[in-house]
Chains A and B, each alone.
Chain A
Amino acid sequence: DEIGLIPCPEARYNRSPIVLVENKLGVESWCVKFLLPYVHNKLLLYRQRKQWLNKDELIDITCTLLLLNPDFTTAWNVRKELILSGTLNPLKDLHLGKLALTKFPKSPETWIHRRWVLQQLIQENSLPSLATKGNLGAAPVERIHRLVQEEMNVCSEAAGRYPSNYNAWSHRIWVLQHLAKLTVKVLLDELSSTKYWVSMHVSDHSGFHYRQFLLNSLIRRTVTDNNILVQNQMVNEQNPSLQKGEESAGTEAACAEEQSVDLPHRLDEEMELCTELIDNYPGHETLWCHSDETLNNSHHGPATSHMAQAMDVDGLNESSSKQGYTQETKRLKRAPVQDSLGPEMEYRFVDKVLSTCRDVDQARFATAYRKWLVTFLGQ
């Protein structure tokens, strides 16, 4: 489940440089300068059609190459061809990539190839007759869910191996967008499962940015679902005799479920998390940035430009049937708890930090935050 290079400049004993201990694969460093050029050359000769290699040899050679240097695009492309011809199981490449990432957590080519493989797998999913490769054998939805979970794990591990791992976190976002389709459930799950991680990595800007992405997606999701709910309500009012189609009823049920996403509460929780971390770990710019943006979202509501004000969804029935539906008259219900999270609390917090902190950077961030509160919130 992990690979690594064992610093060992000379071959002391006449034995294999491959070391396998507790499921971790090590390669003694002396052999790399012989092994890498050898396999590299072999692959290039094959590509130049000067030397034939059969499918098994290709699989072995590319595997070795990629564990030594996963940014070798040609090797990944050979494997793409093998996958497309049906000779190689795409899941093997997910495993190979995962191994490569334990030693090379940023490797751009590994992440890119991974997305290609995942795209192949979801296409396969939509054609059930081809799913006989029997990879996971479960129903498509279950299968996708497991894939997503695995990707979350791989990203998390890679993020832990390299600070602010842009490639790992952007892959994580990509998976949520393209495999998990940004459902409310997955967004909430991810918020809770990354909470501990970001608390342990307070300078990891990418980690906190991921949380902003989750919160923003939740906001956009709530807006869209409210739109659908409102539209359906209006349709029903105007045409009481109309039978609710299965689809609209289904959407409404989903919306009703998802209405239980208490956005203000989530944003409150996020502010609490920021405050706690800022107190415990003085001097991390990331935390202050995250705090800024979360407060911005709480105060102004969804950050989308067409959302102007907030209004009771319940009160919509009366006005909508008379006025007709426009984006500008739409509002989100705000929970009473929202009032307790105000700029006042933030001022108190900042002033407390300024009077008690000893860290120079912390003081600077707090002062800047205070200026921002005054300028942007106008209070």
Chain B
Amino acid sequence: MHVGGEVDVRSAYCAASVASLTNILTPALFAGTAEWIARCQNWEGGIGGVPGMEAHGGYTFCGVAALVILKQEHLLNLRSLLHWVTGRQMRFEGGFQGRCNKLVDGCYSFWQAGLLPLLHRALHARGDPALSMANWMFDQLALQEYILLCCQCPAGGLLDKPGKSRDFYHTCYCLSGLAIAQHFGSGDLHNEVVLGIPENCLQATHPVYNIAPEKVARAVMHFLQYPVPSLDPA
């Protein structure tokens, strides 16, 4: 993550994210990365921080999103991943837990629920006939209920669960999760599912980069104007 710091799947995502947006992504830069990420998938179906570690929502998102960027999602066992992530939505709370047998947390509204658009796209590319054309494979309304009813701080901002205090991190990821839950697909296939009044509807977010889809398009267009820098010193 930084010089002398720890190595885990998050850094792969950060690197892939930045490199792809700024058009500096080369095969040499990510040689072996996709295979390493795939090794982080374990028997549970989810992905851990490093190979051998317990499956964890945050790391799983980073791993899958990085592989989507590198166009190597097929290296994963998508079926067991789907089984794992759908098992993480809590039947009582509606929100998601980060790992098996743990408590619900608002931020996993994005890390976990955000996997379903990625999986949907990957399975669609394989020509899976069973995929819905209107909904993600999780209970979108239940998640929205959890976020709106349990994760809002009366003074503004969002949080982990009732009783916790607000912070920017939870505000960001609760909102991101809410956006994912409200918007299926894009363009012709766009389907909005909004709990409560229409004003609850947020702008859609890009499921890989978690910024507005238009911003992703503009960034990519902008940096495509520049050549990919070479590694040789000038």
Contact surface of A with B, Cβ cutoff 8 Å: 77, 80, 108, 112, 115-116, 163-164, 166, 169-170, 173-174, 177, 203-206, 209, 212-213, 216, 284-286, 289, 293, 296, 303
Contact = CB atoms under 8 A, between A and B. Distances in A.
B101 A209 contact: no
Given A286-B100, A289-B100, A169 B54 contact: yes
A270 B99 CA distance: 22
A206 B44 contact: no
A108 B44 CA distance: 24
Contacts of B99: 164, 166, 205-206
26 contacts: A77-B4, A108-B6, A112-B6, A163-B102, A164-B101, A164-B102, A166-B49, A166-B54, A166-B99, A169-B54, A173-B52, A173-B53, A174-B50, A177-B52, A205-B54, A205-B99, A205-B101, A205-B102, A206-B99, A216-B43, A285-B100, A285-B101, A286-B100, A286-B101, A293-B43, A296-B43
A284 B102 CA distance: 11
B161 interface: no
B4 A116 contact: yes
B166 interface: no
Contacts of B100: 205, 285-286, 289
Closest A-B pairs by Cβ, 10 of them: A286-B101, A209-B54, A205-B101, A205-B100, A112-B6, A285-B101, A203-B101, A170-B53, A293-B43, A173-B52
A214 B131 CA distance: 37
A198 to B, nearest CB: 12
B182 to A, nearest CB: 29
A4 to B, nearest CB: 23
B39 to A, nearest CB: 12
A112 B1 CA distance: 11
A289 B44 contact: yes
Given A112-B5, A166-B99, A286-B100, A212 B50 contact: no
Given A80-B4, A293-B43, A166 B101 contact: no
B56 interface: yes
Contact of A206 (B4, B5, B54): B54
A90 to B, nearest CB: 15
Contacts of A112: 5-6
Nearest to B50: A170
Most A CB within 10 A of own CB, among B56, B99, B100: B100
A335 B209 CA distance: 51
Interface string B30-50: 000000000000011000111
Contact of B54 (A116, A170, A303): A170
A174 B100 CA distance: 21
Nearest to A216: B43
Contacts of A284: 101
Contacts of A205: 54, 99-102
Nearest to A293: B43
A166 B55 CA distance: 10
A152 to B, nearest CB: 16
Contacts of B5: 112
A163 B4 CA distance: 28
A212 B43 contact: yes
Contacts of A169: 54
Nearest to B1: A112
Nearest to A77: B4
Nearest to A372: B83
Contacts of B6: 108, 112, 115
Contacts of A209: 44, 54
A247 to B, nearest CB: 28
Contacts of B44: 209, 289, 293
Interface string B86-108: 00000000000001111000000
Contacts of B43: 212, 216, 293, 296, 303
A342 B53 CA distance: 29
A46 B101 CA distance: 45
B232 to A, nearest CB: 32
Contacts of B102: 163-164, 205
Nearest to B83: A372
